Structure formats: structure tokens, C-alpha cells
Amino acid sequence: MLVTDHSDVVVVGAGIVGLGVADAARRRGLSVTVLDRSPAAAGATVRNFGHVCLTPQTGRAWEYGSVARERWLQLGHDAGFRVRQDGTWVVARHPDELALLSAAADQAPDGTPVHLLDADEFTARVPVARAVGGAHLPADLQVDPRRAAAALAAHLERRGVRFRWRTPALGVEEGRVVTGRGTLTAGLVVVAVNHDLDHLLPGLAEAADVQRCALDMLRVDAALPAPLPGPLLTGWSLVRYRAFADLPEAVAVRDRLHAEHPRWAAFDVNQMCTQQPDGSLLVGDTHRRGAGVDPFLSEEAHELLLDGAADLFGVPRPRVLERWQGVYASGPEEFLLARPAPGVVVATVTTGIGMTTGLGFAEHAVQSALQGEGP
């Protein structure tokens, strides 16, 4: 058992939000301990596409994402992991998708432009089988999620942050965290456990209507004719991300996609992919929400994703290298910042944009807690 041990800040959870909180607190001169029940980050932060998709965000997500973008660039430099600055590529395979991209281009903020491309310009850069056009979102970034999470933790440890792995938090209250290895005391406790909020603080999760959202993901060998120049989004992404989905032009895209592909709609697919440093593709994803999520993975969902990738790139059905399920917290708002007890802050990204926004949201959570502001 640990002897009781004190830090200015104890962070529960070593995903991107917890690491961001640790970084923000450390830079403000505070002593920080991060604890995680796993031997290394193993949650959503290592199971995602590594897509820092700032351009498609609006409102607070865009604001946190703008801060996060700068933090990713700085931390990539300081911690020694690659942050690709090649932007996102969005393929339009139907005129209604191009019309939606065109409307988004007219409204895009200066810092996150949407550059339209015609079919020839797009297919010259991105190895898709067919396109009526597309767009380049140059402000967006890409990281290798597995490498980034490990490098960030190692970097923070070198800068004095203490990590306690394989240490589950059993309860949090004012000034202390009770763990499976003893008690830690702190001036400020930050809970950054993503969907596991429903285990640690079930009453708060229920009151805030936080559910679990489970996603199917694949890493495949797709034998692409040329490398991807960055993350690739499709029409399915346009009807999901708010800077596109909130535009009137999105209605026609959504109605057509759902009518043409009812099974894709049933699995709530966001067809997108990113390429990894070894050339393999991360392909996804599906979405299922509930208080608990079914652990049994549907082969039909995987077949849809594989056939979709073959059709997208005009290649044979890709060979699967890895399959996994990722889970994130899902709520009525995009972020949950709560104070369940004095000196205890809960910071949860409650939709699937934590890699884009988490580092900025963490800065805000620390700043407002130190200023004594309510959530």
C-alpha cells in the first residue's frame, strides 16, 4: 500500500484529457500526480484515428480545438513525436456532397479554411477510385495515437509529473483520492476517466445523462496505389461534424446516404480513415450508444467497413491486421465540466472529439479550477 502522499493536483486517468490537465497544472508550477488503473494509457486515446479535426468544429469545440492545436504542435516538438500538418482531405462522391462542402467553404472561419478542389485536382492528390470533387482542410493535424500517448506520458514524467500506473481510483472526495493502493491527498482532484465516470461517480453520470458510445475499428493492409496525404473523410463524416452537419445542404446528403445505404445508417457509420507510419490504414467506424455497450463485435459491421474501403480506393477487400472496440462518453452536450465536491473537478469530453479538443478543454478546466470558478 502507498503511504499517504500529497500533491497540489491529483489527476485520475492518463488519457489525453488527464495528460492535458497534468501538463497545464505542471506549467503553472504545481506538483502533479497522475494515476491510472492500467499499466499504460489504454482507453479511447490509443484506440482512435489520431485525427485532430479542428475545421469541422463549431462553438466551444472550435475554441478548445484551437488551443489544443497549438498544444499538440508544442508537445510534439517537446516530447519528440510527429504531428503531421498536412490537413484533412474530404472526398465528395456525389454533387450534393460538393454543394455542402461549397457552403461550408463560404462560412469557414479565417483560421480554419475549407479549400474546394475539382475532381481532377482531388484525385491527383488522394488515391480514391472516384470523386466529383472534394476539399482540403489545411488547419487539421494528425498524430499516431499509440505513439503520442506514450510519448506524452514519458515527457511529463521527465518534467516532474509522477505517474502511478495500475492504481485504480475507488473514490474521490474533497482533498483526497482513495485508490486500490492507499490514499492520495491533493489540493485539487481532477477526474478524467472518460466513460468510466459511470463507475466512479455513477450518480453524476446519470444526472448528466452520460452514456457509453462503442465504436468498431480496424487496422488494415489496403495496398493503396499511393499514400494518403492526410486523414480522409467522406460524406458520412459531413453529416456528423457540426460545421458541415448544421448547414441546410446537409439534409439532402443525409437523406440520400440513408436511403442508398440503410445498413450503414443502421450501424451509424462514419466512413473515414487515416494512414499510419507503417502504411497500414485505420478504418472506421460504427457507433452504438447505451448505459452499457454490447461487447460482441458484429462481423457485418466489419464487412461493411472493409467493402466500403475497397470501393473508396478501388482496391480488393483489404486484409485485416487488427480489430478493436473503442468507447467514449456520450452526452447531450459536447463537454462535461462538473464540480461534485469542493476541490474535485470532473472533465469529460462527451462526444468523439477528444483528440481534437482535449488538450484545450484541459487548459480551461485547470484555469477555471484555479480561479475558483464554477464549472
Ligand X SMILES: Cc1cc2nc3c(=O)[nH]c(=O)nc-3n(C[C@H](O)[C@H](O)[C@H](O)COP(=O)(O)OP(=O)(O)OC[C@H]3O[C@@H](n4cnc5c(N)ncnc54)[C@H](O)[C@@H]3O)c2cc1C
The grid cell for 368 is: 477555471
Q: Which is nearer to ligand X, 116 or 141 (CB)?
A: 141
Q: d(Cα 212, Cα 255) in Å, to the nearest integer?
A: 26
Q: Out of 9, 17, 61, 117, name the contact with ligand X by CB under 6 A.
A: 17
Is 41 a residue that touches ligand X (CB under 6 A)? yes
> Quick check: 269 binds ligand X (CB under 6 A)?
no
Residue 16 interacting with ligand X (CB under 6 A): yes
Which residue from 87, 127, 230, 352 is in contact with ligand X, where contact means CB under 6 A?
352
CB 252 within 8 A of CB 114: no
Q: How far is the CB of 50 from ligand X (least distance, A)?
A: 6
Shortest Å, Cβ 101 to ligand X: 20
Q: From 97-105, 113-121, 189-197, 218-226, give the range in contact with ligand X by CB under 6 A.
A: 189-197
Determine, following the binding rule CB under 6 A, whether residue 349 of this chain makes contact with ligand X. Answer: yes
Please state, in angstroms and rounded to a whole number, the distance separating the CA atoms of residues 233 and 91: 6
Is the four-CA dihedral 342, 356, 200, 175 of positive or negative sign?
Answer: negative
Asked if 230 interacts with ligand X (CB under 6 A), we say no
Query: Rule CB under 6 A: is residue 360 a binding residue for ligand X?
Result: no
Residues touching ligand X, count (CB under 6 A): 42
For the purposes of burial, counting CB atoms within 10 Å of the CB of 58, is it exposed (0-12), middle (13-18) or buried (19 or more)? middle
Q: Quick check: 194 binds ligand X (CB under 6 A)?
A: yes
Shortest spacing between CB 277 and ligand X, in angstroms:
16
**Cβ distance to ligand X smaller for residue 313 or 335:** 335
Closest distance between ligand X and the C-beta of residue 61, in Å? 9
Give φ, ψ of 20 to 5 degrees. Answer: -65, -40
Please report whether residue 42 would count as binding ligand X according to CB under 6 A: yes
- Contacting ligand X within 311-340 (CB under 6 A): 326-328
How far apart are CB 259 and ligand X at their closest, in Å? Answer: 26
Of 292, 363, 323, nearest to 65 (Cα)?
363
- Element (DSSP H or E) covering residue 32: strand 32-35
Question: How far apart, in Å, are the Cα atoms of 180 and each of 1, 40, 149, 166, 169?
Answer: 8, 17, 24, 9, 7
The three three-digit cell numbers of residue 235, written as one number: 460524406
Is residue 144 close enough to count as binding ligand X by CB under 6 A?
Answer: no
Q: Does 12 bind ligand X (CB under 6 A)?
A: yes
Among 13, 56, 127, 360, which residue interacts with ligand X (rule: CB under 6 A)? 13
Q: For ligand X, which residue of 9, 10, 30, 45 counts as binding (CB under 6 A)?
A: 45
How far is it, in rounded angstroms, from Cα 52 to Cα 20? 15
Report the site for ligand X in 58-97 (rule: CB under 6 A): none
Binding status of residue 11 toward ligand X by CB under 6 A: no
Nearest distance, CB of residue 55 and ligand X, angstroms: 12
Q: Among residues 117 and 153, whose Cβ is nearest to ligand X?
A: 153
Residue type, 226: A
Residue 355 touches ligand X, criterion: CB under 6 A:
yes
Measured CA to CA, the distance from residue 149 to residue 117 in angstroms comes to 34
> What residue spans of the chain are helical by DSSP H?
16-27, 44-47, 59-79, 95-107, 119-125, 145-158, 197-200, 202-207, 235-238, 242-245, 250-260, 262-266, 299-313, 354-370
Q: Which residue among 33, 49, 61, 134 contacts ligand X (CB under 6 A)? A: 49
| Sequence-distant (≥ 6) Cβ neighbours of residue 67 within 8 angstroms | 359, 360, 363, 364
Residues near ligand X, by CB under 6 A: 12-18, 35-38, 41-45, 47-49, 51, 53, 168-169, 192-194, 196, 200, 215, 217, 284-285, 326-328, 349, 352-356, 358
